[in-house]
Amino acid sequence: MGAKKGKLVMVASRGTADGLYPALILATTAAAQGMEVHVYFTFGGMKLLNRKTVDKISPSVDLGLSERELGALLSRGGMPSLKDLLRQAKEGGVKIHACSPTMNLFGTTQDELLEVVDDVIGASGFLDLASDPDAVTLFI
C-alpha cells in the first residue's frame, strides 16, 4: 500500500448494533484504503470487546427492531456479524483500544477482553491519538 494515507480515530461508545456497525464498517474500509485507523471502545461500546457480552449486543433502540428482525435483515443484506467485522478490522491493521475507566466502572477484568484488544487506555491516551491535525475524529 505504500505510505499511510491519513488517519481515522473513532470512539465507539454505543453498545448496540446500530452504533457498532458504522464504526466497524468505517474502520475496515479506511484500513483497506491505507489509512491508519484507531477505534477506542468506551461505555456501551466495550460490550463488543468483552467475552461475556460480545454475543449479547442488542440491535438498536433507534431502529425499533428485535434481535431476530435485525438478524434477518443483516443476513439478507449479506452483512457480516459484528464479531466477524471486528476480526476483519484487526486483520486489516485497525488498532483496537479498550477504555480503562469503563473497565473500572463495570469491574471488567483483563481476562474478559477479547484477544483482538491492542491496549487499555484512558481519556488521556485517546486524546493523544486524536490530537493530530490531520486525523479525522468521530465519536460514534
In the DSSP assignment, the letter for residue 118 is -
CA distance 126 to 131: 9
Tell me if 140 contacts its own copies by CB under 8 A.
Answer: yes
30 forms part of the interface with its own copies (CB under 8 A): yes
CB nearer its own copies, residue 29 or residue 81: 29
By the 8 A CB rule, do 70 and 59 touch? yes
Return phi, psi of residue 101, to 5°: -60, -35
Q: Of residues 1, 4, 5, 91, which one binds its own copies by CB under 8 A? A: 5
Q: Single out the residue of 2, 3, 68, 76 in contact with its own copies (rule: CB under 8 A).
A: 76
C-beta atoms surrounding 40 within 10 Å: 25
Binding test (CB under 8 A) with its own copies, winner from 39, 48, 60, 82 = 60
Per CB under 8 A, 88 contacts its own copies? no
Counting contacts by CB under 8 A, is residue 107 touching its own copies? Answer: yes
Q: State the DSSP H helix or E strand holding residue 31, giving kind and residue range, or none if neither.
A: helix 17-32
List, in order, residues 6 or more apart from 2 with CB less than 8 Å away.
34
Interface ranges with its own copies (CB under 8 A): 5-6, 8, 10-11, 13-16, 18-19, 21-22, 25-26, 29-30, 33, 35, 42-44, 58, 60-64, 73-74, 76-79, 101, 104-107, 122-124, 126-127, 130-131, 133-140
